[in-house]
Amino acid sequence: MINSLRKSERLKHRKKIDELFKSGKSFSIYPLRIYYKVESFNSVITDQQGLAHGLRPRPGVLAGVGVSKRHFRKAVDRNRIKRLLRESYRTQKHGLTGLVDSLQIRVDLFLIYTGRELPGLEICEKATGQSLEKLQRLLFEKPQTPII
């Protein structure tokens, strides 16, 4: 499998991010806080008139990262942490993406660094790995209900 984080795999739209923070679930594994939202696609999408469309959103994972400006005033530090988080997610995402594809669901995911000290790559990789494993357990244990 190719280790990449394409533009189509990133959570960038303000509307989706706001919706994720409002109606999504979250958990913490120090130094990360993970917000996630699961959508299932078992039914056909209909428009306002009730007409069925053949278009259904593709299953997959959309991921984003963030760092608090309050704890890291310098943009250089924030950008470095975001780069480390994206790199650690990129190298460890394959278990999650495989599970999501097999369950035919879509997961929006946002990783927020909540620590107060500059991390190294090892710390980011360890925390990201633990977070993705916990998310996989949460997704696999719950029966998926359609959310449209």
Are 2 and 91 contacting, i.e. CB atoms less than 8 angstroms apart? no
Task: State the pLDDT confidence band at 44, using cuts at 50, 70 and 90.
Answer: very low
pLDDT reported for residue 104: 87
pLDDT digits (tens, 9 = 90+) for 125-141: 999 999 999 999 998 88
What region does 105 belong to: left with phi over 0, alpha with psi -120 to 50, or beta? beta
Whole-model pTM: value is 0.82
**What secondary structure does DSSP assign to 104-135, as a single string?**
TEEEEEEEEE--SS---HHHHHHHHHHHHHHH
Among residues 62, 47, 44, 48, which one has the least CA distance to residue 100? 62
Amino acid at 7: K
The C-alpha atoms of residue 88 and residue 34 are separated, in whole angstroms, by 14
pLDDT reported for residue 143: 55
- Contacts with 22 (C-beta within 8 Å, 6 or more apart), sequence order: none
Q: Which domains does the chain have, with CATH numbers?
A: 8-40+72-141 (3.30.230.10)
pLDDT reported for residue 90: 94
